[in-house]
Amino acid sequence: MEILLLGGLSAAAFIIIMVKTGKVFSFARFGWQTDVVISVILAAIFFGTFSGMIVALIAGIFISGFLFLVKLISPPKK
Task: Identify the domain containing residue 28 by its residue range.
Answer: 2-73
- As for how many domains the chain has, the answer is 1
Q: DSSP for 36-74? A: HHHHHHHHHHTTTSHHHHHHHHHHHHHHHHHHHHHHHHS
Indicate if the pLDDT at residue 78 is higher than 70.
Answer: no
**Residue 35 placed within a domain:** yes
pLDDT tens column, 6-53: 999 999 998 898 889 988 888 888 878 888 898 899 889 888 889 889
- CA dist 26 and 4 (Å) reads 27
Domain assignment of residue 78, yes or no? no
Q: Assess if residue 49 is contained within a domain.
A: yes
Task: Specify if 67 maps to a domain.
Answer: yes
- Smallest Cα–Cα separation from 13: which of 52, 53, 71, 60? 60
- 9 within domain boundaries: yes
pTM of the model: 0.82
- Whether 56 is covered by a domain: the verdict is yes
**37 domain-assigned:** yes
> What is the pLDDT at residue 44?
92
